[in-house]
Structure 1
């Protein structure tokens, strides 16, 4: 792949990642402790979480550990993001 196309692809991926983080930040309830968090903090607290992913034909379930402190917040964010897309 030529260098110009590689740079363009990197730009597209970085833009998509930024947009995803921005949407997650917007979906966090204003009363939550992470409402004003930076992207790096959101990535550590919400995206780098050890979970078990269970796939079926009609849905994807995410199972958190019982000690996960942000499981309820993650559920709220997922619900808000799902409602925004339909």
Structure 2
């Protein structure tokens, strides 16, 4: 089971990295850096009726890429 979860996590990280713009530094970044910059974030979570809203800190250095990456992900729920 653990191997299955690791394979899934690797595939998700590879997919996220491949969604980045072709000429950006995010396209060839290491998985550990990608995990620390985009996934392990301190956010305030607000659950609404039909959506989830994340409130990021204002001092976050990579705010621009967080708006770009989720917009390119395919919709999971219609």
**Paired residue secondary structure (1:66):** coil
Using the size of structure 2 for normalisation, the TM-score is 0.84
Structure 1: 5+ residue stretches without partners: 1-8
Q: 1:8-63: per-residue Cα shift (whole Å, max 9, x none)? A: x1121111101110111011122332221011110111111111111112001111
Q: Computing the radius of gyration over CA atoms, which structure comes out larger, 1 or 2?
A: 1
Normalized against structure 1, the TM-score is what?
Answer: 0.78
Match of residue 64, structure 2, among 54, 57, 72? 72
Does 1:62 pair with 2:47?
no
What do you get for the CA RMSD once the two structures are aligned? Answer: 1.4
Higher relative CO (Cα under 8 Å, sequence separation at least 6) belongs to 1
- Which runs of at least 4 in structure 1 moved beyond 3 Å after TM superposition? none
For the residue of structure 1 that corresponds to 2:61, the secondary structure is coil
Which runs of no fewer than 5 residues in structure 2 stay unpaired? none
More helix by share: 1
